[in-house]
Amino acid sequence: MTAKTERIFRDAFAKAGIEVNGNRTWDIQVHDARFYDRVLASGTLGFGESYMDGWWDAERVDELIAKILSGNLEQKVGINPAVIWHYLRARIINLQKRHAFEVGERHYDIGNDLYAAMLGERLVYSCGYWNNATTLDEAQEAKLDLVCRKIGLEKGQHILDIGSGWGSFLRFAAERYDASGTGLTVSRAQKAYADEHRRGLPIETLLQDYHEHEGAYDHVISIGMFEHVGYKNYRSYMEKVHALLKRDGYFLLHTIGGNKSTYGTDPWIEKYIFPNGLVPSIEQIGRAAGDLFSMEDWHNFGPDYDTTLMAWFSNFDTNWDSVKSSYDDRFYRMWKYYLLSSAASFRVRNLQLWQIVFTKVGARERYTAVR
Amino acid sequence: MTAKTERIFRDAFAKAGIEVNGNRTWDIQVHDARFYDRVLASGTLGFGESYMDGWWDAERVDELIAKILSGNLEQKVGINPAVIWHYLRARIINLQKRHAFEVGERHYDIGNDLYAAMLGERLVYSCGYWNNATTLDEAQEAKLDLVCRKIGLEKGQHILDIGSGWGSFLRFAAERYDASGTGLTVSRAQKAYADEHRRGLPIETLLQDYHEHEGAYDHVISIGMFEHVGYKNYRSYMEKVHALLKRDGYFLLHTIGGNKSTYGTDPWIEKYIFPNGLVPSIEQIGRAAGDLFSMEDWHNFGPDYDTTLMAWFSNFDTNWDSVKSSYDDRFYRMWKYYLLSSAASFRVRNLQLWQIVFTKVGARERYTAVR
């Protein structure tokens, strides 16, 4: 059985330009022959888990996975590393939740250390903008500034940030544009961090679900949060944003996107992913925004997420020694796989990164997009 | 009956800030009391036809209709002038078809005179780009140049133009960028004009349906033609473009868009509009492009169509004396209503103008949008 399975995999890999135990950077090194049966039995999940267990490796995991994705090995041997994004992201988010709600000081501190080591100065956990940037910190500042410029942010305006993370955007907007802001997060750890680093700026962070929030804002922005809304809630999300936005305000949505609509019906997504966690499509966003908003500008800089993720991995790898006492080798491999497989998905354009500017229908006369 | 109907209309108009026989530029002047019953009986169609018959007027028909649209009078008294766009556009297209296929020289020449008078130097029958333009001719050149810059057009590249009209885009691309091109049109009159004005440039115009065309192009563009494809054909349209485009090429789609998906099930659309003529939504385009294309950039400059249409009306009105011997007063009013009601629809953001840049999935690394 194993020999036959191995032949199937070797053939499929060969068609995608990958040699088992070959000597190129993207060739897969199979260290444990049980690999083949495991992947055959449990597909993508088995592929990722067997990497975490050290059953296979590659000098350039990202390049290997890019070749797997380009070669459509999903159809041939059931491997679709793009889905790993959901799986690992969900595990990471669950870890964050544990940090937050068990108030485990040790985990909490370690978590922030890990993120600080990986994400750079401003602790921004979303795609940077590499148009003119040469470093991760520059790319993240450029992204934050891009959002401010796209909404035409003016002094004194009040912004709502749905999914405000560690508060990076609102601090930037208050520092650079003299704006004020309210951030919403469901993470106690993120709120605590944002409160501690408020620096006297006119910003507040609320531990609150966006559906429960009330108010009227000059602009609403949401960076890297829509991926967790779920397709069943897209319409009510848009309705809520519409209700929270003043008539002439801008709504900027920054989200990962997929080329096709998916609905999370895959059984292992049901098992491992928190409900409704999903990468949206153009179709789904278009339907949800419908008659509420005029879509003024839809900017795709997906390839910049490849660059961002590779920079995160480089930081993580470089700083591993300083945080590894709190983790095990399997965690290192999980995290590496998460970052590099995600980078590959953006590289082959299976995933996109969108910034969309919306106005209320009838509200504005002419929008001039910036880049 | 009429008195009661009139009261309903007066009340509805008043709520939208319009006074019947009032003295502001947007107030409706009702010249024939049968107007109310006619509109009540046949809605939008009756509203437009009764204008053509001279039963009502306004100093600023565009402003009146903008107020009707903003006031949602459709729900109150059944008037939705946005739909007139379809109706009149279809009639105009049918006129063009007659011109083309009956080879009526008189109509043909007159038709071109009318368009030449209205559309400006380059005879471009689509939305101009008014970002830095101050005249219609500048706006049309800016639009043609914008398309060339968005697809990164280089010397010697071969472009397919689906729905090439009078050949304006390909002439511009050949003159300014040393490109070559093939245009497809279903209008014999347009092909004849394009052939006559080829000026020795490496461009050809084929009288052919896009579905029947074969080839492999560096880039594919389509300006103001997708509105006639029909939602049932969106997917096969995208598949055909995908097949006609080289791996690293760009597909630029320039189309009018609507905020919501519609499917042309209204009975009078069925009666008067050629089958499948339809303004697409984001949802519909997203679904059709799906896994075929990465959507790199989606640019909305809908308000520029308001400006373009007002410029067309100004040209038409100014030049009416020189062409009117071939038409009647009802034609003048139909044309005026078509241009001004369409301008109003773009002004209140019921209609949008989109330029979308697509690449084949996996084909490109990073797209930098221009404006």
Question: How far, in Å, CA of B371 to CA of A359, rounded?
Answer: 19
* DSSP 8-state symbol, A281: B
Question: How far, in Å, CA of A249 to CA of A243, rounded?
Answer: 11
Mutating which of A146, A298, A370 best tests the B interface, going by the most B Cβ atoms within 10 A? A298
Domains of chain B, each with CATH number or no CATH? 3-79 (no CATH), 101-360 (3.40.50.150)
Instruction: Write out the two tokens for A339.
Output: 């970052």
A297-331: per-residue pLDDT in tens? 999 999 999 999 999 999 999 999 988 887 888 88
How large is the average pLDDT for residues A341-350? 90
A327 touches chain B (CB under 8 A): no
B58-70: per-residue pLDDT in tens? 999 999 999 988 8
Instruction: Write out the two tokens for A198.
Output: 């408020």
B59, B25 Cβ separation under 8 angstroms: yes
Mutating which of B65, B279, B294 best tests the A interface, going by the most A Cβ atoms within 10 A? B294
B352 touches chain A (CB under 8 A): yes
pLDDT: is A106 or A262 the higher one? A262
Indicate the helix (H) or strand (E) that contains A217. Answer: strand A217-223
Read off φ and ψ for residue A186, nearest 5 degrees.
Answer: -105, 10
Taking 60 as the threshold, does the pLDDT of residue A91 lie above it? no
pLDDT of res. A111: 65
- Strand pairing report for A293-300 and B293-300: antiparallel
pLDDT of res. B209: 92
A110, A117 Cβ separation under 8 angstroms: no
A132 touches chain B (CB under 8 A): no
3-state secondary structure of B361: coil
- Tally DSSP H helices, then E strands, for chain A: 14, 9
> Residue A160: which of A237, A234, A68 has the closest Cα?
A237
- Report which residue type is found at A282: I
The alpha-carbon gap from B82 to the nearest alpha carbon of chain A, in Å, equals: 14
C-alpha Rg value of chain A to the nearest Å: 21
> Residue A161: which of A132, A126, A119 has the closest Cα?
A126
Per-residue pLDDT of chain B (371 residues; tens, 9 = 90+): 578 888 888 988 998 899 999 999 999 999 999 999 888 887 777 888 899 899 999 999 999 999 988 887 766 666 665 555 555 554 444 444 433 333 333 333 446 778 888 999 999 999 999 999 999 999 999 999 999 999 999 999 999 999 999 999 999 999 999 999 999 998 888 899 999 999 999 999 999 999 999 999 999 999 999 988 888 899 999 999 999 999 999 999 999 998 888 765 344 434 444 445 578 999 999 999 988 999 999 999 999 999 999 999 999 999 999 888 878 888 899 889 889 988 998 999 988 999 999 999 878 778 998 98
pLDDT of res. B206: 97
Residues of chain A with pLDDT > 90: what percent? 60
Q: What is the DSSP string of B289-328?
A: HTTTEEEEEEEE-THHHHHHHHHHHHHHHHHHHHHGGGS-
B176-208: per-residue pLDDT in tens? 999 999 999 988 888 999 999 999 999 999 999
Q: What's chain B's length in residues?
A: 371
Read off φ and ψ for residue A360, nearest 5 degrees.
Answer: -65, 140
A362 touches chain B (CB under 8 A): yes
Taking 90 as the threshold, does the pLDDT of residue A18 lie above it? yes
* pLDDT level of residue A268 (50, 70, 90 thresholds): very low
> Residue A261: which of A277, A276, A289, A280 has the closest Cα?
A280
CB atoms within 10 A of CB A37: 16
* pLDDT level of residue A99 (50, 70, 90 thresholds): very low
Cross-chain residue pair B282–A281, CB shorter than 8 Å: no
pLDDT of res. A144: 98
Taking 60 as the threshold, does the pLDDT of residue A42 lie above it? yes
Q: What is the DSSP string of A81-98?
A: GGGHHHHHHHHHHHHHHH
Its sign, for the CA torsion B158, B161, B162, B165, is negative
pLDDT of res. A303: 96
A281, A260 Cβ separation under 8 angstroms: yes
pLDDT of res. B93: 45
Its pTM stands at 0.90
pLDDT of res. B44: 76
Taking CB atoms and an 8 Å cutoff, what residues of chain A touch B300?
294-297, 367
How large is the average pLDDT for residues A55-72? 91
Taking CB atoms and an 8 Å cutoff, what residues of chain B touch A131?
368
Taking CB atoms and an 8 Å cutoff, what residues of chain B touch A359?
349
* pLDDT level of residue A246 (50, 70, 90 thresholds): very high
Cross-chain residue pair B361–A300, CB shorter than 8 Å: no
Instruction: Write out the two tokens for B306.
Output: 């308001």
Taking CB atoms and an 8 Å cutoff, what residues of chain A touch B261?
287, 290
Taking CB atoms and an 8 Å cutoff, what residues of chain A touch B350?
361
Chain B contacts in chain A segment 251-310 (CB below 8 A): 259-261, 281-287, 289-291, 293-304
Helices A188-196 and A84-101, interaxial angle, to 10°?
A: 70
